[in-house]
Structure 1
Amino acid sequence: MKKISFIILMALLAIEVQGANVYQPWKHGQLKVSDNQRYLIHADGTPFFWLGNTSWLLPERLNRDEVEFFLNREREEGYNVEQIQVLNVIPTYNVFGQQANDETFDFKPFVRPGVYGYWEHLDYIVDMAAANGIYIAMDCIWGSQINKMDEKKAASYGTFLGKRYKDKPNIIWMIGGDIMGDKGTAAWDALARAIKRVDPNHVMTFHPRGRTTSAWWYNDREWLDFNMFQSGHRRYGQRNGDGDYTIKDNTE
């Protein structure tokens, strides 16, 4: 136990030393939407330009050394946001085989004192990103999994996430996850509201499906700070044979 604690302490000290030499955008205060509702700015009025990378599976695929290498490289290439999935599937495992959750959304069995588990690894990712001056746009659960999370589970999960990361300076909350906003609406609302009750200070958005915008469904929600639009990927329309697009095949 002492050895594990010492290793974690030394790692955190190394992160702090590195972070002291890197531009920290949050020194200008929390992110917010500008008064004219057109831009993201910091609390002191400093503009913020979102230059993000979709490193969705970062918490699952990379070990600590790879996380450090990757985020250092991202900083060198100019990225200031990493968009990640916290939970890609139910259950989710990381590269060490550590489990994040199960279908009950009771996280107590997966957060154990003195054990470097899934959530401690995610903590490390968030802290290493901060040391590199990078925000983590935290997509809480991928859209394809929303049918496994009812309103009660969503509220419990949102409270867990909000408490764990509310004091981190580099968090941006992302609800949704490449999904049409009219699917799982009640659960998305419950998740977002639970996070906001615990953490009202970090900005929040909704990540929609390709060629859609969160404004179609959530523009009137009190938890939505700004809208997000996805142009699409792989093929522009992202039809994928699911029939939820009114886009002609020859235009994709």
Structure 2
Amino acid sequence: MEKEILSVEQWRTIDIQISTDKTYNSPFEDVDVFGIFKGPAGEEIRLLAYWDGGNVWKLRFAPVSVGMWSYKIESTDADNTGFSGEGSIECIPYSGELAMYKHGFLKVSDDHDYLEHADGTPFFWLGDTHWTFVTEERFDESNCPKYESQFKACVDKRVVQKFTVYQCNFRDGKVNGFFGKNIDLMQETENGYVPNIEEFQNNVDKKMKYLADCGLLIAVGYAWGFDMEPNGLERYKKFAKYVAARYGAYPVAWTLAGELPGYMGDLEMNTRKWNEVAKEGARWSAYHNLMSAHLACDRPFPKIYEDEPWFDFAMSQAGHGDFDMGQSMYAEFKEMYKGHPVLESEATYEGADSNEYTSRVITAAMMRRLAYLVMQSGGCGYSYGCNGIWELQWEAGVGGIGWGDMAWWDGLELPGASQLTIFRDFYESVGWHRLKPLSEEVAQTKSFFMEASNRTQIFFTGDEKLNTIVGYMSETAMRSFVIKGVTAKAYKCWFMNPEDGTRTDEEKLLYPSGGVIEYDSNDQFANKKDRLVVLQAVED
């Protein structure tokens, strides 16, 4: 009888189950099982199978090209003939509309300034933060009558709002007493380390699959940085290996651990140990999933791992009012991680209480300023967070860690997330990946009575030929500017309100003189809302 040929769409996953009659004392520790997949153009992917309980292992495979793939199974236990066999898989074109599968998994762009899909399409990082998605977010339950599932409600809302990244953490480890809960996803037994199969099957699997089915990039860390000391290096190396096998065929980016290198204890040792974990994760990453580390909130920003082969992009944490936040900090960060895309991974969680000497509730406007500031400083994306969601607050007034305790369904409706839909739409409309920060020699803020500062300066980006120029004016910024070195004869100039996306003024034509554009506004003090200004070259 001819063996059935399996079929799957490009970039989507198919699971191949492998069973054996042989029993191992510690299946996870005693044997490694592999699938070697060969594609139509000579591609080869060597996948580690994940142990799924009992005598069952599974290969999770996502073909990267259309056509016939062959595979064979082998293992480190040469005497076990149960770990053998061959098969074929037909990869057919993806038929849906999700960008992740239309354009393929992610990589770093050739100029190392942003992330892009396999086919070269730029990827706009717009993340939503759910640090406790495994331990706190409930898949089959909701205490809000509008929704049947807390987890699905949060994900579905952000998908509609055009978010592209779900930023989270497995929180593997013993209880740490900081925020949320940890969970023993990797358990230490007398026979060595054993994955918590029941927890993976009944909790983590369905969340990871749902996120993948929504086409989101799952940016996930293994644990929090300070979890290393009580749990140990070997545990996290084993964990990194296991989740690479179980979830590496999904659209994932491994973000190592939270708040690295940390704030107390032996930070150098902590950094070295987590580096070993990252190397182990990269070793088993058959799809070369992107890797980074969620950094601590320090000034200057921590500079770690930038020269490591596994390190792909840099994630700053500007914080929640801990320090001043201006363009200079992102310029310094970009210089520190030269040769890597940079993005903001944690700043000004909307609705939370700020970490300032005089605490205040963080507004959408405060959050929005940081989002535009990072893009105008050469960043490639922004991760949003909000009260009630970042730590998954089941109900108001119960729990929380002191930065606000809004119920999750109220946090889900805060206005800033919808304003980030406008943020993404705007940048994609102006070709954001071609825009670079303009120096003060090229773009100058006109200030009549003081030197321009982070509070008063307009932050400009432009493409190589200055055919498209974008400026962001915070609510405290001046409204007049000079642009030098332009070559077009005329520019269409328009303004946009980033709060609601409306254009605030009629388009006007500006005519450079001697390669210089000068714009003088008459609303320096009348209109103290943030604004975007766009100049686009036109033929006169």
State TM-score, norm by structure 2: 0.36
Q: Does 1:148 align with 2:230?
A: yes
Partner SS for 1:209: coil
Q: Distance in 2 between matches of 1:98 and 1:150?
A: 15
Is 1:67 the counterpart of 2:151 in the alignment? Answer: yes
- Report the structure number with the largest CA radius of gyration: 2
Gaps of 5+ in 1: 1-18, 239-248
User: Which letter maps to 2:259?
Assistant: D
* 1:51–1:137 distance in 2 versus 1, CA, 3 Å: same
- Correspondence for 1:100: 185
Which amino acid in the other structure matches residue 176 of structure 1? Answer: A
Percentage of matched positions with identical amino acids: 26
Partner of 1:236: 322
After TM superposition, the structure 1 stretch with the greater mean CA deviation from structure 2, 209-218 or 23-32, is 209-218
Identify the residue that residue 195 of structure 1 maps to in structure 2.
Answer: 281
| Residues 167 and 71 of structure 1: CA distance in aligned 2, closer, same or farther (over 3 Å) | same
Residue identity opposite 1:192 in structure 2: A
8 Å contact kept, 2:172–2:183:
no
1:40 paired with 2:122, answer no
Corresponding letter in the other structure for 2:278: A
**1:102-126 Cα distance to aligned partner (Å, 9 max, x none):** 4678233x21xxx4x2454212111
d(CA) in 1 for partners of 2:316, 2:261? 11
After TM superposition, give the deviation of residue 224 of structure 1 in Å: 0.4
Unaligned residue ranges in structure 2 (runs of 5+): 1-93, 140-148, 325-355, 360-540
Q: Once the 2 structures are TM-superposed, how far is the Cα of residue 212 of structure 1 from its aligned partner?
A: 5.7
3-state DSSP of counterpart to 1:216 = coil
The offset of 1:192, in angstroms, is 0.8
> After TM superposition, which residue ranges in structure 1, 4 or more long, deviate above 6 angstroms?
249-252
Query: Match of 1:71, SS?
Result: helix
1:55-98 Cα shifts (integer Å, max 9, x gaps): 11111112222212221111012211111110165159xx9x98
Using CA pairs under 8 Å that are at least 6 residues apart, name the structure with larger relative contact order, 1 or 2: 1
Q: In 2 relative to 1, CA 98–210 (structure 1 residues): closer, same or farther, beyond 3 Å?
A: closer
Cα RMSD for the two superposed structures: 3.2
> In the alignment, does 2:264 pair up with 1:180?
no
Q: Distance in 2 between matches of 1:186 and 1:251?
A: 37
In the other structure, the counterpart of 1:219 is: 306
The structural deviation recorded for 1:215 is 6.8
Change (3 A) 1:20 1:75: farther
| Count of residue pairs brought into register by the alignment | 214
When normalised by structure 1's length, the TM-score is 0.74
- Between Structure 1 and Structure 2, which shows a larger proportion of helix residues? 1
Offset at residue 211 of structure 1 (A): 3.8
The Cα of 1:165 is off from its aligned counterpart by: 1.1
> CA separation in 2, counterparts of 1:103 and 1:155?
13
Work out the CA distance in 1 between the residues paired with 2:101 and 2:279: 24
Contact 1:180 1:209 (8 Å CA) reproduced: yes
Q: Distance in 2 between matches of 1:213 and 1:80?
A: 29
Could you tell me which residue of structure 2 aligns to residue 171 of structure 1?
Answer: 252
Q: Which amino acid aligns with 1:157?
A: F
